[in-house]
């Protein structure tokens, strides 16, 4: 059980432990051979057992929600990390407080919110108006999408990518090598757990169970994140139409990206390029047929399929928003920081039918 087992080499403390992302971190790390959760804090649930909120962890986690994390506990490990799993707007003041309290230099920090993802001040203020820009802290953070931005092992602070952004970037990144027409279209489908644990009228089961709708059309904050990750040249040469949709599932995201080639390329050559681009990425599975949500739910895999016809390119990518889109990706980044194989403790198969 987490909290009642032989101590592992690396410890992780989670701040904001009542959300879906925190619950998924605890679930995944309970299976990790070298990293364990050593503390979970939540001001609204202090003194309660973690399983009082995350009941699916009963028999797995014996930890209790604390008011604050224990720095002395973090110091007792070979290396440690703090995962910020809080709502938007809290990452910077929380980190400033931790540093003032003497957070060890060997302790990494991973922020699951979008507070520190955008590096352009104007874009940040447009899409995150409620969050101060904080340039000094922002400059210390690395965007952690290992397959594309190549998380460096020497980094200490990581801003974890958004879930829809992860799937879209992974669909589009290999296409940067080809000449494309200006407009790229990203059609995104996402399950309702991406909106978090707090109840919302639009996520209420009677509203979602048999419905399908778009939201934040051409205004979603993941669009500038996608363009930023794809690089300055891509952003300068292309515009993006990003439209997310809500689907009546809890987990899973399906991206369909459309682009048009300006120079002839065969389907086989583009597929070969994708395979080469991701040859060292253990969590990318290239598919010959369209991917399925059921094959990735509960896993850190990203399944990708590419189809080409008469210069039209269609790339489909599929992830679990709570794993590869959040907690699994954070653990993948931790593995890199702790100099472990990035797939360590994350090579789990999907359930199949769910």
Question: What is d(CA 303, CA 257) in angstroms, rounded to the nearest whole number?
Answer: 14
Token readout for 124 is 């940040």
Residue 29 to residues 64, 205, 228, 260, 335, Cα–Cα distance (Å): 16, 30, 30, 42, 11
Question: What is d(CA 158, CA 145) in angstroms, rounded to the nearest whole number?
Answer: 10
Across 166-186, b (16+ Cβ under 10 Å) vs e yields bbbbbbbbbbeeeebeeebeb
> Strand pairing partners for 40?
14, 65
Q: Are 207 and 152 in contact (CB under 8 A)?
A: no
What's the distance, Cα to Cα, between the start and end of the chain in Å? 25
φ, ψ for residue 83, nearest 5 deg? -105, 120
Q: Enumerate the active-site residues.
A: 163
Token readout for 56 is 């699916």
Pairing status of strand 312-319 against strand 302-309? antiparallel
> Strand pairing partners for 80?
11, 107
């Amino acid at each position: 059980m987490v909290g009642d087992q032989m101590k592992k080499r690396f410890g992780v403390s989670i701040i904001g432990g009542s959300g879906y992302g925190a619950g998924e971190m605890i679930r995944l790390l309970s299976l990790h051979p070298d990293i364990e959760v050593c503390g979970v804090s939540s001001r609204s649930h202090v003194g309660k057992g973690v399983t009082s909120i995350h009941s699916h962890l009963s028999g797995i986690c014996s930890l209790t929600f604390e008011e604050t994390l224990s720095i002395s506990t973090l110091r007792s490990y070979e290396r440690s990390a703090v995962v910020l799993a809080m709502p938007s707007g809290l990452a910077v003041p929380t980190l400033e407080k931790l540093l003032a309290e003497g957070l060890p230099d060997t302790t990494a920090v991973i922020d699951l919110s979008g507070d520190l993802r955008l590096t352009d001040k104007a874009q940040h203020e447009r899409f995150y108006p409620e969050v101060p820009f904080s340039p000094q802290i922002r400059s210390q953070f690395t965007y952690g999408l290992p397959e594309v931005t190549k998380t460096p092992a020497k980094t200490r602070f990581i801003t974890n990518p958004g879930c829809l952004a992860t799937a879209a970037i992974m669909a589009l990144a290999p296409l940067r090598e080809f000449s494309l027409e200006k407009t790229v279209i990203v059609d995104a489908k996402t399950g309702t757990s991406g909106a978090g644990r707090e109840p919302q009228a639009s996520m209420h089961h009677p509203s979602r169970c048999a419905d399908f709708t778009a939201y934040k059309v051409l205004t979603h904050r993941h669009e500038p994140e996608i363009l930023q990750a794809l690089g300055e040249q891509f952003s300068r040469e292309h515009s993006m139409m990003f439209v997310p949709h809500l689907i009546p599932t809890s987990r899973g995201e399906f991206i369909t990206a459309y682009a048009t080639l300006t120079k002839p390329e065969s389907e086989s050559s583009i597929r070969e390029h994708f395979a080469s681009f991701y040859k060292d990425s253990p969590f990318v599975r290239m598919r010959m047929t369209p991917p399925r949500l059921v094959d990735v739910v509960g896993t850190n895999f990203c399944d990708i399929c590419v189809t080409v016809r008469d210069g039209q390119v269609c790339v489909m990518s599929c992830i679990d928003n709570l794993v590869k889109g959040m907690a699994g990706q954070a653990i993948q980044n931790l593995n890199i920081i702790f100099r472990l194989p990035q797939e360590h403790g994350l090579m789990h198969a999907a359930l199949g039918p769910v």
